[in-house]
Every structure is written in C-alpha cells, then in structure tokens.
Structure 1
C-alpha cells in the first residue's frame, strides 16, 4: 500500500478524521478524538498503529517490517514499513485492529451513541 491508499482506507472508517497534532509532518488519524494511526509525510515508511500487546509481539516476531514504534509506547504501538513485503491485506487488517482497539476502550455511552463504531471489527487475534 502507498501513503494515499492508507490515508483513504483510514478515512473510510466511521467517525474518522485526520489532523496534524504535533507538527506539519506527522499525519494522525483519529476516531472520536483518539489517535489510532499516524504516518510521516516526509518518511511514509514511518507508519504506526495501535495494537493489543500480545498481538504486537507476535507480529514483530513474524514480520521484520513490523517493529516497536520509536516515539510511542512500545507495548501498544507498532511501526510498519509499508515498503517491505507485507501484503496489503495484512496492513488493512492491522489498521482495522488498531481502530477496534481504540473503540473498545471508549466509554459505553459513546459506543451506544455511535453504533457504527462497532461495525469495524478486527480480523486479527492475539
């Protein structure tokens, strides 16, 4: 996947928007104000996604393109090299997983008010 495909896929998820919370290079994707993905515009191979801690370790062990994220909590965030050999389907699965991980931590009130958030499920399991 290239940066534009990633951007389009992230923005296709319910209640998602993009912004630049830190500088003009780090593009963040948020669901209900919570970041679930970020990508560097100057170095798009720096793409980070939230992940269940057990699954994060499994993915890092099985794919050299997936590492602990450099500037994020390494327990929960993976850095993905999109220019490696990962299939697009795995990248989209990891995006969905990240989104679902963020949504499941939201208050039940928000989940009830915005049921479309729960339509995005993760095909990945720890």
Structure 2
C-alpha cells in the first residue's frame, strides 16, 4: 500500500478529516475529532491503528508486521509495519476496524448522523 492509496481509503469513511496536529511529518485521520489512524508522511513505513485489546494481542502473535503501537497506548493501538508480512486487504480491514471502533465510542446521535451520511 502506498501513501496516496492509504489516504484515499481513510478519507472514504463518513465524517473523516485529515490533520497534522503533531507537525508536518505525521498524517492523522480523525472521525469527529477522534484519531483512528496515523502515519509518517516522508517515511511511510507504518500505520498506527486503534484495536480491541484482545484482538491487538492476537494480531501481534500472528503477524510479524503487527507490533504494539509506537508512541501510543500499547493496549489499544497497533503499529502495522508495511514492509513486513501484511497484505493490503488486511491493512484495509484493520483501518476499517479502527474507524468502526472509534465510531462505536461516539455519542449515539453522532453515530446516527454518520450512518445517515451527515
């Protein structure tokens, strides 16, 4: 997966914004102000995604390219190392899972508005 494909995929979800809150070298994707994915821009070698804690451990055990979230809460975030054993379809699924996990924690009215395309 290359950075433009990653960017387009993240922006395809309802309510997503892209920001640079940590400086111009880190691309951050948020849904309604909550981060669900981030990566380096110049050195696009990994993506951080939010993950259910049990699933996070399971993925780390199964894939060499999934490690505890770099500079993130290790219990809730994984770092996907793009040059390892990860297929693009799996990376897309984990980004989607991250998005959905963040959305599930939003207030009901916000979730309903997203589902309605607002």
Q: TM-score, normalised by structure 2?
A: 0.94
**Cα distance between partner residues in 1 of 2:105 and 2:63:** 27
SS of residue matched to 1:48: strand
User: 1:1-126 alignment to 2 at 5 Å?
Assistant: 1-116=1-116
**Cα distance between partner residues in 2 of 1:26 and 1:110:** 27
Aligned residues: 117
Q: TM-score, normalised by structure 1?
A: 0.88
The runs of 5 or more residues in structure 1 that have no matched partner are 118-126
**Cα distance between partner residues in 2 of 1:69 and 1:114:** 27
The runs of 5 or more residues in structure 2 that have no matched partner are none
Which stretches of structure 1, 4 residues or more, deviate above 4 A after TM superposition?
none
SS of residue matched to 2:45: coil
CA contact (8 A) 1:31 1:99 kept: yes
RMSD: 1.2
